[in-house]
Amino acid sequence: MVTRTLPRFIALLPAPVLAPVLAPILALVLALCLGLPAAAQDQRQAQDQTQAQDRDSLRLILPQARPVAGEMIPLTIRGEYTGWIALEEMSFPDSPGYDWIQTGPDEWGDERVNGRQRRIFQRHVAIFPSKPGRLTIGPVTHVLTKAEGNARIETRVTASPVSVDVQPFPAPGRPLAARSLTVTDELSGDPAHIRSDQTIRRRITLTAQGSMGHLLPARPELHEAWLISFTVPEKRETILTEQGPTAFVQWEWNLRPITGEQGTLPPIRFSWFDTGKREMRGAVTQPIPFGYGKLAENIGGAARLPRASRWLLLAALAGGSVAGLLALVSGQGPATRRSMALFWRRMLPNPARPALRATARRDDLFALRRAARDYARHEAAMGRSTAAAAAALARLDDVLFGSTAGTDFDRRAFLKDLTRRSRNRGGAGDAGRFQPDGRAPRPDAVRR
């Protein structure tokens, strides 16, 4: 009865009396109605954030750059995981739009992320876009097997794809972009003095840091009308270093001239994009001149007898000269025969001359003095004058033993003076001009 009459009683109350009583009650009801959904939403957000922090995550990280086609793009795959990981497997996707290579072993470690302990995974990959345009990489999935007690639970964590805009390569032809490019050109011999039957091996090596072996240029062609070349199988590979991948290629040719004419192999140019300076650069080999030994056998040269025929001709000429000389001498008296023998002996070369020239190229004045004395003795024994040799030896003795000892000595001028022939003919008596102790006479003691 009371509950039924209470609303009627409230309705009969005057408004001035009712308003002060109901206002606080209505305000409290309104606050509860508005606050409860907001509190529930905050609670749901807190729960979602906690669940997100507890979830495993994987992402692809690209640097801020504007690469050109063929330029290396470093990509980092980073995973943040919870729990004990017993097994893991990740496969990186292939694509016709790029080449890729893993630049190092996977990295595992522990870090605190947002105040929570996480197992961190990182893999570094080098991407080489093959053409300009928008390049999309991914998605990438990491399959994890976690241990929870005696159970093994497989979890798949996927990284969303990332994209980058690739610029066109700033030159025609196969794109080659690198941090540095080194070109070496080696020869097994001197092509300027090649023998008629000699083959020279040429080796060109290219090393590009920040590239892959198959991105290096193809083998250059060596085609000349006067040359034949035999190629050796190339060596091409990608070498992983601490600075990243390094491309390597090596070409070899066995070269032999065939026509006898002189020729020059033109330089070879390799164009590449410097990723540090952001500009095109070029590496050029030097031209290689060939001076072939059979110059007389070229197309425009004179005819030449075969080697066997040349030796037979020389032997015939020498034999005829000796026979004629013997016939001339046999019809003369003893004095004439002695004069002819002396003349013939004077025409022979000095056997000590090669050793003298070889010693003069060394920086040993005492060895040069011994070789010069030997040369002068042969000159005297062959009936030639030794006045010039004696004067030259006297100057050498002054440098070695005299007042000018320790001064610079011109070996070239000494050799020229020593081997200069005098117009006066000497005899056996010239050999006595060299003293028993090996010293040459003073210049004023030489007979003029």
Find the CATH number of the domain harbouring 80: 2.60.40.740
359 and 342 in contact (C-beta within 8 Å)? no
Q: Within this chain, do residues 215 and 280 fall inside the same structural domain, yes or no?
A: yes
Asked if 164 and 266 count as a contact pair (C-beta separation under 8 A), the reply is no
Q: Is the model more confident about 45 or about 174?
A: 174
Coil, helix or strand for 404? coil
The verdict on 44 and 67 lying in the same domain is no
Q: The tokens of 176 are what?
A: 């080659």
- Does residue 32 fall inside a structural domain? yes
Task: Tell me, yes or no, whether 15 and 75 share the same domain.
Answer: no
Mean pLDDT of 176-199: 91
Mean pLDDT, rounded, for 28-55? 59
Q: Are strands 84-90 and 140-148 parallel, antiparallel or unpaired?
A: antiparallel
Give me the percent of the chain exceeding a pLDDT of 90: 46
Q: Are residues 403 and 355 in the same domain?
A: yes
Q: Hey, what are 246's tokens?
A: 């390094």
Do residues 399 and 339 both lie within one domain?
Answer: no
The backbone region for 149, taken as left when phi is positive above 0, alpha when psi lies in -120 to 50, beta otherwise, is: left
Q: Does 284 lie in the same domain as 186? A: yes
Pairing mode, if any, of strands 177-178 and 269-274? parallel
Tell me if the bond preceding 139 is cis, omega within 30° of 0: yes
Rounded CA-CA distance 441/448 in Å is 13
Residue 171 forms part of a structural domain:
no
Helix (H, G, I), strand (E, B) or coil at 31: helix
Report the number of distinct structural domains present in the chain.
5
| Inside any domain, residue 238 | yes
Per-residue model confidence (pLDDT) at position 424: 45
Is 80 exceeded by the pLDDT of residue 41? no
Domain-embedded: residue 438: yes
pTM of the model: 0.56
Does 150 share its domain with 189? no
Phi, psi of 438 (to 5 degrees): 95, -5
End residue of a domain, out of 37, 53, 69 = 53
Closest listed residue to residue 394, CA positions, set 345, 435, 344, 335: 435
| Residues 203, 107 within the same domain | no
Q: Rounded CA gap, 175 and 70, in Å? A: 6
Is 21 in the same domain as 81?
no
Residues 6+ apart with CB under 8 A from 146: 83, 84, 85, 86, 152, 153, 154, 155
Q: If you average pLDDT over every residue of the chain, what do you get?
A: 79
The length of the chain is: 448
Q: Return the higher-pLDDT residue of 301 and 49.
A: 49
Give the residue-averaged pLDDT of 15-19: 58
pLDDT of residue 299: 40
Smallest CA-to-CA distance from 259 within 223, 210, 300 is with 300
Q: Which residue has the tokens 């000699």?
A: 198
> Maximum Cα–Cα distance for the chain, whole Å?
185
| Mean pLDDT confidence for 297-317 | 50
Whether residue 106 is found in the same domain as residue 80: yes
Q: Is residue 95 in some structural domain? A: yes
Q: What are the DSSP calls for 229-293, one per residue?
A: EEEEEEEEEEEEETTEEEEEEEEEEEEEE-S---EEEPP-EEEEEETTTTEEEEEEPPPEEE-BS
**DSSP type of residue 227:** E
Which is nearest to 257 in space by CA: 173, 171, 329, 197?
197
Beta bridge partner(s), residue 151: 148
Euclidean distance between CA atoms 186 and 63, whole angstroms:
40
Mean pLDDT value across residues 352-362: 83
Identity of the amino acid at 265? L
Residue 101 lies in a domain: yes
* Pairing of β 116-129 and β 73-81: antiparallel
Same domain as 415, residue 375: yes
The residue that leads in pLDDT, 356 or 68, is: 68
Q: What is the CATH number of the domain that holds 238?
A: 2.60.40
* 3-state secondary structure (DSSP) of residue 35: helix
Residue 61 in any domain: the answer is: yes
Tell me, rounded to whole angstroms, the distance of Cα 340 from its chain centroid: 66
Nearest residue to 132 via CA among 69, 184, 86? 69
In a domain, 439, yes or no: yes
Tens-place pLDDT, residues 120-165? 999 999 999 999 999 999 999 999 999 988 899 999 999 999 999 9
Task: Give DSSP secondary structure letters for 118-184.
Answer: EEEEEEEEEEEESSSEEEEE--EEEEEEEEETTEEEEEEEEEPPEEEEEBPPSSSSS--EESEEEEE
Are both 110 and 215 inside the same structural domain?
no
Q: How confident is the model at residue 115 (pLDDT cuts 50, 70, 90)?
A: confident
Q: Higher pLDDT residue, 443 or 117? A: 117
Please give the single-letter amino acid code of residue 254.
Answer: N
CA dihedral 441, 445, 446, 448 (to 10 degrees): 180
C-alpha 10: how far from chain center: 102
Closest CA to 115 of 58, 53, 51: 53
CA dihedral 257, 261, 262, 268 (to 10 degrees): -50
Distance CA 177, CA 69 (A): 8
Give yes or no for residue 447 having a pLDDT over 50: no
Greater pLDDT, 38 or 231: 231
Bigger pLDDT: 411 or 180? 180
Q: Which domain range does residue 208 map to?
A: 177-296
Residue 54 has a pLDDT of 67
Which whole number is the average pLDDT over 170-199?
91
**Distance (Å) of CA 168 to CA 71, 165, 244:** 10, 10, 23
Other Cβ atoms less than 10 A from the Cβ of 392: the count is 23
